[in-house]
Amino acid sequence: MSKQNLLFTPLKAGALELPNRVVMSPLTRSRAEAEHVPGELIAQYYAQRASAGLIIAEATMTAGDASAFIAEPGIYSPEQVAGWKKVTDAVHAAGGRIALQIWHPGRATHPLLNAGAQPVSSSDRPIRGEQIRTLQGTYDYPAPRRLEVSELAGIVELFRAAAENAKDAGFDAVQVHGAHGYLLDQFLRDGVNDRDDQYGGSLENRARLMFEVVDAAIQVYGADRVGLRLSPLVPFNDMVDSDPRALTEYVAEQLDRRRIAFFDLRHANHAAPAEEVLARIARRAYTGVLMRNGGFDQATGEDALAAGTADAIIYGKPFIANPDLVERFRSGAELAPVDFSTLYTPGPKGYTDYPALESAGGNHLALAV
Ligand SMILES: Cc1cc2nc3c(=O)[nH]c(=O)nc-3n(C[C@H](O)[C@H](O)[C@H](O)COP(=O)(O)O)c2cc1C
């Protein structure tokens, strides 16, 4: 166990009071019920992980024709809001805090997942070199339809309604998904965005849609309960940008002006030199709470906190098999391995059946003192 234990110190992120700096990353697990409604199983799963400083719940659909996975949850219908209310109640009853990641896949989906609807994007360029899974099989991505400027207010409206619904459902905050090659990232990064209108070309133009969405979320929640995820170097979904440093700096400056609760910088691998440069740029331009994610373990997380390159560390895969990750870090217990075969399969197996350490008398706890 690390000497410093900064991971276990409290942190104020906007209006959020985190008891520790071990944050749970948004993780799609495809366990929603029919019509993308979250049920008891999802409530149980998140409640099991309530000791995280903050849970950022999985990418959640902002519209009925914006599904990209099978059985991911939505936040656009009254039934979904009622389902999520059970989730937030369960997490709060277990002493936790939970934010919702609001999301639109843009071109990273398929008509078979959306009743025949063609995907939309900043351009008509399809994702190449990757495929998408549907109930009918795995396919190449189709070419998206390029959104007209006149349609973009409607996209912002989807996110605003999602934030309002998230508030009704009792979420402590929302995180705008600006990462991983989904719709907002498809506008942001110039490997996809080839527009020549006010939503293309300069960084300011490419980031316009994302900040319209962030501002809509701020109107609903207040800046102190809004976060943003960004992944300038993550190539997933066939993404690239010609100048990720300038992009990071511009977004960080804009977030700083808005005083949002937290900035989630998602690295492909935090230790890569190019990623460390981005972290330094973000740190300099953004004076709020910077959370970093991507391949951290306990020791490297402590190092980043000690070096001042992050205020909190976001853990993804470690939370899948270790619902009590905070306690395991604290006690120096071994981490359970993830069963990758059950990441997206229905039911509790590989979802809610990963046990916590025994609370009393276990060897792990004995080792910790
Ligand atoms: C099963 C799985 C599902 C994921 N789903 C999401 C998601 O819904 N939203 C998101 O922003 N990132 C998602 N990610 C990425 C993780 O949040 C995280 O960024 C990534 O796993 C790197 O962190 P780690 O090294 O701690 O696992 C997912 C990753 C995995 C493995």
Amino acid at 95: G
The residue ranges of every structural domain in the chain are 6-365
Q: How far is the CA of 173 from the centre of ligand 1 (A)?
A: 19
Q: How far is the CA of 29 from the centre of ligand 1 (A)?
A: 10
> Tens of pLDDT along 183-228?
999 999 999 999 999 999 999 999 999 999 999 999 999 999 999 9
Q: Which residues line ligand 1 (CB under 6 A)?
A: 25-28, 58-59, 101, 177, 179-180, 229, 266, 293-296, 315-318, 343
What pTM was estimated for this model as a whole?
A: 0.96
Q: Are 354 and 339 in contact (CB under 8 A)?
A: no
DSSP assignment of 307-324: HTS-SEEEESHHHHH-TT
Q: Are 259 and 15 in contact (CB under 8 A)?
A: no
Catalytic residues: 182
What totals of helices (H) and strands (E) does the chain contain, helices first? Answer: 12, 14
Q: How confident is the model at residue 358 (pLDDT cuts 50, 70, 90)?
A: confident
> Tens of pLDDT along 238-264?
999 999 999 999 999 999 999 999 999
Mean pLDDT of the chain: 96
Q: Whose CA is nearest to atom 22 of ligand 1?
A: 294
Question: Ligand 1, closest atom to CA 179?
Answer: 11
Q: How far is the CA of 22 from the centre of ligand 1 (A)?
A: 15
* 6-365 carries CATH number 3.40.80.10: no
